[in-house]
Amino acid sequence: GQQVMQIPQYQHVQEGEDFTTYCNSSTTLSNIQWYKQRPGGHPVFLIQLVKSGEVKKQKRLTFQFGEAKKNSSLHITATQTTDVGTYFCAGYHRSYQLTFGKGTKLSVIP
Amino acid sequence: GAVVSQHPSRVICKSGTSVKIECRSLDFQATTMFWYRQFPKQSLMLMATSNEGSKATYEQGVEKDKFLINHASLTLSTLTVTSAHPEDSSFYICSARERTGADTQYFGPGTRLTVL
């Protein structure tokens, strides 16, 4: 079946360090979405990438969609304590079934 | 581990009928399950939070009599869309929070509902 693998599962960084989470799909995606879930909260939509090789930025966050549309990454520059949470990628396959990765839990040490 | 299943994965029904969607945590106990709705290529929208053995908490704007949620056990929650109409057509996703890991949430694969 369709799978979306996300690594790492956990990441602990010192405040100010960079952070990257990677998402890989077993099949080509029509688009990919990223969500952030704060501790105790529910996933909040961050962004959607559609085009092959697309790169989008939101302040300190950089999102990339691979050329083959099978992988994606989220990079945070100079992490802050407000970045703490779990980041999920979710990919849409041709069947319009949204498959979520298991998430990367980010801890930021002040 | 930590697998959440949903059934059915796809359902097509006639307007006016009711549809039940099941969400199961297969290898862990979930005191809390969440139900989301997502329109094509749009953000996930939280509909309700259900805790085992108690009434679900619905988000503002979600009709509780329209979307019945039952969380009867630590591994099963159901969402029933009553008297479905074409505007209820959507992608419904559940997620489950582990009993021991309060911040860890696992998503089901979703159910595509089409109301004719």
Residue where the block lists tokens 């396959």: A93
Q: How far apart are CA B79 and CA B19, in angstroms?
A: 8
Interchain CB distance below 8 Å, B103 and A33: no
Q: What's the length of chain B?
A: 116
Question: Do residues B34 and B46 lie in contact, with contact meaning Cβ atoms separated by under 8 Å?
Answer: yes
The confidence band for B59, taking pLDDT boundaries of 50, 70 and 90, is: confident
Q: What's the pLDDT score for residue A94? A: 63
Q: How far apart are CA B111 and CA B90, in angstroms?
A: 8
Q: How far apart are CA A74 and CA B16, in angstroms?
A: 43
Q: How far apart are CA A65 and CA A54, in angstroms?
A: 5
Element (H, E) at B92: strand B90-98
Greater pLDDT, B90 or A37: B90
Q: How far apart are CA B28 and CA B59, in angstroms?
A: 26
Contacts of B112 in chain A (CB under 8 A): 96-97
Both tokens assigned to A97: 């079934």
Ranges of H-type helices in B3-71? none
Contacts of A102 in chain B (CB under 8 A): 2, 106
Q: What's the pLDDT score for residue A23? A: 97
Contacts of A100 in chain B (CB under 8 A): 107
Nearest-Cα distance to chain A for B80, in Å, is 20
- Span B69-105, pLDDT tens digits: 998 888 999 999 999 999 999 989 898 877 755 456 6
3-state secondary structure of B3: coil
Question: Do residues B68 and B82 lie in contact, with contact meaning Cβ atoms separated by under 8 Å?
Answer: yes
